[in-house]
Amino acid sequence: MDTTKQVPSLLATSIGRKIVMGITGLFLCTFLIAHLSGNFLLLKPLFDPTDGGKAFNEYAEFMSKSPLIRLPEIIMFLGFMIHIGLAAKLTSQNKNARPQGYVYQANDGKTSIFSKYMGVTGSIVLIFLLIHLYSFFVKHRIIGTEETMYETVKIAFSNPIYVLFYVIAQILLAFHLNHGFQSGFQSLGLKKNPKWNTLINKVGLGFSILIPLGFAIIPIIMYIQSIQ
């Protein structure tokens, strides 16, 4: 290769940034799986009345105390920061690439609607994330409280407005993942073999429905329990 030319770094080019968006996005998908697996412990008292939230509290305790979790936690935080920061950068570049729009707005009827509103769905999910972090993470890890994590969750999910907000955020997350999952593979160039594309698209669709559904069902069940 011609070494006399200066090759810009990955983060300084359009495709490089998209690759990093893809990597961080798909990494955050793995975080969703881990988070949801833990959340399912909230439902343990349904099947085992003697549990009373013990399993979930032990899990929350492990997550906040174990030194094994610190590194993945920092990586996850960085993943979010890079994904959001690059999204802002790319969006502003995209706006500059077409300063004057079209008078007549049309839809080709074939492209996915979710793909066009990634910024909107992503921003709402970010707002949710900040409120969500404040309700649980900040309250326990930064401010400190006497409540157990299970109690905090139980109180939050007995508030119908909080539950509604949570469920709406999950729907928007589903929209975001609907495009994002397969789009991440495309940005990494892993959809260059059409043989695999159907599989990637199907797994992406399944992921985008099942993961937010899993998250949303927990506050709904806990709310129904709280009013009984």
Partner 1 sequence: MRTMKLKLHVWRQENRNSQGRMETYTIEGVNEHMSFLEMLDVLNEKLIKEGKEPVAFDHDCREGICGSCGMVINGRAHGPWYKTTTCQLHMREFKDGDEIYIEPFRASAFPVIKDLVVDRSAFDRIIQAGGYVSVNTGGVPDANAIPIGKETADQAFEAATCIGCGACVATCKNASAMLFVSAKISHLGLLPQGQPERMQRVLDMVAQMDKEGFGNCTNTGACEVECPKGISLVNIARMNYDYFKAQLKK
Binding piece for partner 1, criterion CB under 8 A, among 10-18, 132-140, 144-152, 157-165:
10-18
Tell me the closest approach of the beta carbon of residue 39 to partner 1, in angstroms.
Answer: 30
d(CA 219, CA 163): 6
Q: Does residue number 190 form part of the binding site for partner 1 (CB under 8 A)?
A: yes
Of 90, 129, 220, 221, the one binding partner 1 by CB under 8 A? 90
The answer to whether 213 and 37 are in contact (CB under 8 A) is: no
Residue 16 makes CB contacts below 8 A (sequence gap 6+) with: 8, 9, 10
Of 191, 205, 214, 226, the one binding partner 1 by CB under 8 A? 191
d(CA 84, CA 89): 9
AA identity, residue 188? L
The answer to whether 117 and 175 are in contact (CB under 8 A) is: yes
| Radius of gyration of the chain, Cα coordinates, nearest whole angstrom | 21
Tell me the closest approach of the beta carbon of residue 201 to partner 1, in angstroms.
Answer: 11
Tell me the closest approach of the beta carbon of residue 4 to partner 1, in angstroms.
Answer: 11
Tell me the closest approach of the beta carbon of residue 7 to partner 1, in angstroms.
Answer: 5
Taking CB under 8 A as the criterion, which residues in 19-48 touch partner 1? 19
Q: What angle do CA 50, 226, 38 make, to 5 degrees?
A: 60
Q: Does residue number 100 form part of the binding site for partner 1 (CB under 8 A)?
A: yes
Q: Does residue number 120 form part of the binding site for partner 1 (CB under 8 A)?
A: no
Binding piece for partner 1, criterion CB under 8 A, among 16-24, 34-42, 159-167, 169-177:
16-24
d(CA 20, CA 9): 12
Tokens describing residue 67? 């030194």
Site residues for partner 1 per CB under 8 A:
1-2, 5, 7-8, 10, 13-19, 90, 93-94, 96-108, 110-112, 115-116, 118, 179, 182-183, 186-192, 194, 197
